[in-house]
Amino acid sequence: MHETAIAKAILDRITDRLNNLHHASNATAVEVRVGEFRNVDPESLSFAFDSLKKEYPTCIACALNLELIETRALCKDGRHEYKASADNAYRCPNCGSAIGTLVSGKELDITKIVVSQNK
């Protein structure tokens, strides 16, 4: 269950950001981009985030919005770009060759934090 470690990393990053702001603020939402080829289960991550955020006073009302990114690869032999999935055994549907390089699917980034200033 490394989703717990990831949820903690998200909350720690938000807290760092809020601490750098001039005004005391809370986070109301955070957007996280998760690649499909990253071994992260979105439901477990949301569950871990919602349990852990109670321990972070500035994040108690923070919603986690996940943007899921599909796995795309350039094939080894033809350099065709394709969606790599178990359906085609991760091979290129155009020429049958193996994964050369991944184009997307390894993302695990915070892209946005929505902040509201305390009254």
Partner 1 sequence: MHGPTELHILERLLEDNEQLASHNQEHFDELGLLAVNLMSAPGAGKTSLIKSTAKLMPADCPIAVIEGDMVGELDVERLREDNIPAYQISTGRACHLDAQMVAQLLHTTKLPDCKILFLENVGNLVCPAEFPLGEHLRIVLLSITEGDDKPIKYPVIFHNCDAVIFTKSDLLPFCKFSLEKAKDAISSLNPAVEFFVVSTISGDGLPQWRNWIVEKANKKISHLHIGL
Q: Which residues bind Zn ion (CB under 5 A)?
A: 75, 78, 80, 92, 94-95, 97
Q: What does DSSP assign to residue 4?
A: H
State in angstroms the smallest separation of the CB of 94 from Zn ion: 4
Chain residues 22-51 in contact with partner 1, contact rule CB under 8 A? 23, 25, 28, 32, 37-40
91 binds partner 1 (CB under 8 A): yes
| Strand (E) or helix (H) holding 49 | helix 42-52
- Measured CA to CA, the distance from residue 49 to residue 70 in angstroms comes to 22
Residue 43's contacts (CB-CB under 8 Å, 6 or more residues apart) are none
Q: Name the binder of 108 from partner 1, Zn ion, none, CB < 5-8 A by kind.
A: partner 1
Q: Are 26 and 59 in contact (CB under 8 A)?
A: yes
Q: Name the binder of 54 from partner 1, Zn ion, none, CB < 5-8 A by kind.
A: none
Q: Are 26 and 56 in contact (CB under 8 A)?
A: no
Number of residues located near partner 1, criterion CB under 8 A:
36
- What binding mask, one character per residue, do residues 100-119 give for partner 1 by CB under 8 A, x or -? x-x-----xxxxxxxxxx--
For residue 75, count CB atoms less than 10 angstroms from its CB and return exposed for 0-12, middle for 13-18, buried for 19 or more: buried
Q: Which residue ranges make up the site for partner 1 (CB under 8 A)? A: 1-2, 4-6, 9-10, 13, 17, 23, 25, 28, 32, 37-40, 76, 86, 89-91, 98-100, 102, 108-117
